[in-house]
Amino acid sequence: MCQLLGMNCNVPTDICFSFSGFRKRGGETDVHRDGWGIGFFEGKGSRVFLDPEPSAHSVLAELVRSYPIRSLNVIAHIRKATEGDVRLENTHPFLRELWGRHWLFAHNGHLPDFRPPLKGIMTPVGNTDSEWLFCWILEKLRCQFGTRTPSRNDLFSALRKLTLTFAEHGISNFLLSNGDVLVAHCSTHLSYIVRQAPFGEAHLADEDMSVDFRELTKPADRVAVITSLPLTDNEAWVDMRPGSLWMFCDGNIYDQCDTIPSPYKTMADLATATAEGSRF
């Protein structure tokens, strides 16, 4: 299965520490060798670094790890391909523009029988179920709200309804951001932590590296980090419940609600069900 990493902050913050550990899982401490990507929002602009190479050994990942890009919203992904070849166009996060904002999307899971028709407002470039899902979500938002940008509350409510449509069809952990908020769906597993004063020390789970946030932060700073598996081994990460949707804003939880947990606990369960034809 792929892994996700998201960050949402109230002041522009770099993700170098978290990404140091995360990238190791792309071919060193874990098996997600089929490419990686990371997208940063800076103001209304965004930059996305994509690489079909394993992140643990990528020149580009080394640059991202060592070059501090300060951002309010970040989405990263390391891929273990389930559907779609290992190619640049199948590498997450995917980017589209809607209502004059960039939108980034990364997906961890598989929705083997969910290919709803698209109207041609957004069209996938690659051949993953993930990009199809992203295009479908943005098309539905565009059709519901027209050319008018919805409020955060209306956006969250619309995303909940859309998520209920596909949550039962497979595994649909995802991160979505428009640079203003970061939305996270926990279908099987996802954890988060909100780091705020009083700050402490954190130690990476995937490499022997620590950081003392007291030395790097101001008292009002607040950062939410969301990830498939906790990145540090000495902090209190919160497991999100399967079947829950979260909106983060300014480094904190803005809203949350129930959706539907995946009927499959793991990708192996899903693969077995697909092979047996029990649900598909």
Q: Which residues bind a copy of itself (CB under 8 A)?
A: 42-51, 59-60, 63, 67, 87-91, 95-102, 120-126, 146-147
Task: Kindly name the residue from 2, 9, 135, 186 that is annotated as catalytic.
Answer: 2
Pick between residue 99 and residue 114 the one whose CB is nearest to a copy of itself.
Answer: 99
Separation between Cα atoms, residue 129 and residue 61, nearest integer Å = 25
DSSP 3-state helix, strand, coil percentages of the chain (rounded to 5)?
Answer: 25, 35, 40
CB 193 within 8 A of CB 202: no
Pick between residue 40 and residue 264 the one whose CB is nearest to a copy of itself.
Answer: 40
CB 239 within 8 A of CB 26: no
Long-range contacts, 267-275 (Cβ 8 Å, 24+): 267/1, 267/82, 267/109, 267/110, 267/171, 270/110, 270/112, 270/170, 270/171, 274/112
Least CB distance to a copy of itself at residue 142 (A): 8
Pick between residue 132 and residue 192 the one whose CB is nearest to a copy of itself.
Answer: 132
Cβ within 8 Å of residue 62, ≥6 positions away: none
Least CB distance to a copy of itself at residue 226 (A): 23
Least CB distance to a copy of itself at residue 249 (A): 20
User: Tokens 């954890």 belong to which residue?
Assistant: 191
Separation between Cα atoms, residue 120 and residue 173, nearest integer Å = 25
How many CB atoms lie under 10 A from the CB of residue 221?
17
Least CB distance to a copy of itself at residue 126 (A): 7
List phi, psi (to 5°) of 153.
-65, -45
Task: Read off the amino acid at residue 120.
Answer: G
Active-site residue 2, yes or no?
A: yes
Least CB distance to a copy of itself at residue 2 (A): 17
Pick between residue 42 and residue 269 the one whose CB is nearest to a copy of itself.
Answer: 42
Catalytic sites, residue numbers: 2
